[in-house]
Amino acid sequence: MAVKKFSDLNQKNLTSVKNISKDEEIQEISLRPSYFDDYVWQSSIKEKLKIFIEAAKQRWESLQHILFYWAPWLWKTSISNVIAKEMWSNIKIMSGPTITKAGDLAAILTSIKKWDILFIDEIHRMKTNIEEILYSAMEDFKIDIIMWKWPGARSMRLDVPKFTLIWATTKAWSLSAPLRDRFWIIEKLDFYTISEMKKIISRSAKILQLKIDDEALEDIALCSRFTPRIANRLLKSLRDFAQVQNENFLDIKTTISWLKSLWVDETWLDKNDEFFLRTILEKFDWWPVGLNTLAIAMNEDKETIEDIHEPFLIQKWYIKRTQKGRILTQKSLDFLKNKKINEDNRKIF
């Protein structure tokens, strides 16, 4: 009898955990905007997209193909989902490096339905022979597939539903000209402004049922690198701190204290950025260093350095790219010097 009661109790706990997980999943999805009205974004690009979408819907046509480029972490996937919602369409999300064979791409293109949106991220890492299949798919909505290998090879032309291709890349210049020219809408995404970040954080805080004052809101915005994903990650971490402390309100004092424990401050740099700068300073004595050498010194691959570390550091003038290699700016030296002074002061006390 006791075993039965214990089993019942376990079943109740398991059900409770499942419900909590379900709530967390719904909450995670809801942080991403679903429609343009919820999307805090560069207004000029958003307004243009609204016009293109409305015109396509009035003509009862698929939306023209779109290319987004610039820095990573800028919610390119989110805006693609918003476009799909506004177009009343389904969306299929893929990553360029995962499409390794022509047959894979053919299977994807023939499985989508009319007006569907195909979003492919990191297109600069897609193989050239696979890119070429898209030429006729984007223009004529047909693809040519080579059947069997030589000898006796033959091609087969397949119809593709009229779809919209949205591609995102951090290296638009690496795309072949024939492919780039087939995109009708090409937009460069930039970092968000402080006011936009505050609106995003305020919306997320309401969804997370977390109260936050204006000073704390601005401090999180300053520490978020002007990137919604990072802002939401910080906000959810702060919510965990508040929950453990039995609090449901963030003021500036607690926010600064907890952000420091996350190794984040208003300089926008984290421990990975500091390691990047210290590597150049301490291992190469501030001399210019090439990408390959820097990748070996940091035990990182070149793509990670170019796509993750460098864009923000260059944009905020912490490093410069020269013909001889990467070099630190005076701003970097001041940052590292202040960090060392603060660390020495902590050791004294």
Pairing of strands 117-121, 91-95: parallel
In sequence order, what are the residues at sequence separation of 6 or more whose Cβ sits closer than 8 angstroms to the Cβ of residue 232? 31, 200, 201, 204
> Which segments within 43-104 are labelled E, that is strand?
66-70, 91-95
From the list 46, 182, 203, 229, the catalytic residue is: 229
| Known catalytic membership, residue 77 | yes
- Taking Cα atoms as reference points, which of 275, 296, 290, 274 lies closest to residue 327? 290
193 in active site: no
Identify the active-site residue in 46, 77, 199, 254: 77
From the candidates 116, 121, 219, 273, give the one annotated as an active-site residue.
121
**Strand 142-147 versus strand 154-159 pairing type:** antiparallel
CA–CA–CA angle 297, 301, 302 (5° rounding): 95
Q: Is 169 a catalytic residue?
A: no
Q: Is 219 a catalytic residue?
A: no
Return all residues near 131 (Cβ < 8 A) that are at least 6 apart: 175, 176, 179
Q: Is 76 an active-site residue?
A: yes
CB-count burial class (<10 Å; 0-12, 13-18, 19+) for 282: exposed
In the set 76, 225, 239, 326, the catalytic residue is: 76
Catalytic residue among 116, 164, 169, 170: 170
**Cβ proximity of 115 and 62 under 8 Å:** yes
CA distance 110 to 216: 50
Strand partners, 142: 159
Cβ(69)–Cβ(97) below 8 Å: no
- How many CA atoms within 13 Å lie on the side-chain side of 58? 6
d(CA 349, CA 347): 6
Q: Which positions are catalytic?
A: 76-77, 121, 170, 229
